[in-house]
Structure 1
């Protein structure tokens, strides 16, 4: 299974917060699964930190490495795919994560219900 973390899930894990259901945590810990963290999440964290809206680890890359998450870069095709998504949700970070999940056949680990109308696979957080 290929999983893509929503930003809040990454932050919970990096902050040591035990908010994930046991089934979801088990999927993240299963070595047969590949877990991705998108450059979109790093961008979102950096922007919100710079605006004083978020407390987050100083070194996002080090946190991703600590958990052995694989970095998912943003490609031009990912960015262009957001234009074709219906406007169920206006958050640009989420829309890009959705486009990546669709393009790369990933399931998104999220608690955000706004992802459901897009038909992307969801692992409940």
Structure 2
């Protein structure tokens, strides 16, 4: 199973947050490939610049490489998939992750019920 992880899921992995449920840990363990979107790195850079993220993006990228989490670049196909999304969620990063999951296709691991409402590909933890 190919698995795309939401930005907050990556943060929880990196800080070993207890909100990363046993269900999520099991899915991560079973995944053949785990991906993080370039959009998530962009979102984290914005949060870091605003002082809303304690992690340093350089360390995040390095740790993803160490953990075997693959970066998935945003493509034109991904952005085209945005055109069919209903306006259920206003966060552009979350909407893009949904579009990426649909375009690839792959499962999207999230704790955001608004994200999960978009697609059966989302796994809500």
Question: What is the TM-score with the length of structure 2 in the denominator?
Answer: 0.90
Computed over aligned residues only, the root mean square deviation of the Cα atoms, in angstroms, reads 1.5
> Which residue in the other structure is 1:66 paired with?
66
Tell me the distance in 2 between the aligned counterparts of 1:115 and 1:58: 24
Q: Aligned pair in 2 of structure 1 residues 23, 117: CA closer, same or farther (>3 Å)?
A: closer
| Structure 1 stretches of 4+ moved >3 Å | none
Unaligned runs of 5+ in 2: none
> How far, CA to CA, are the matches of 1:68 and 1:84 in structure 2?
32
Equivalent-residue separation in structure 1 for 2:98 and 2:39 (angstroms): 11
**Number of residue pairs aligned between Structure 1 and Structure 2:** 124
Aligned residue for 1:49?
A: 48
* Aligned residue runs from structure 1 range 1-125, under 5 A: 1-30=1-30, 33-59=32-58, 60-125=60-125
- Ranges in structure 1 where 5+ consecutive residues have no aligned partner: none
**TM-score, length of structure 1 as denominator length:** 0.90
Structure 1 residues 38 and 111: alpha-carbon distance in aligned structure 2, compared to 1, 3 A threshold: same
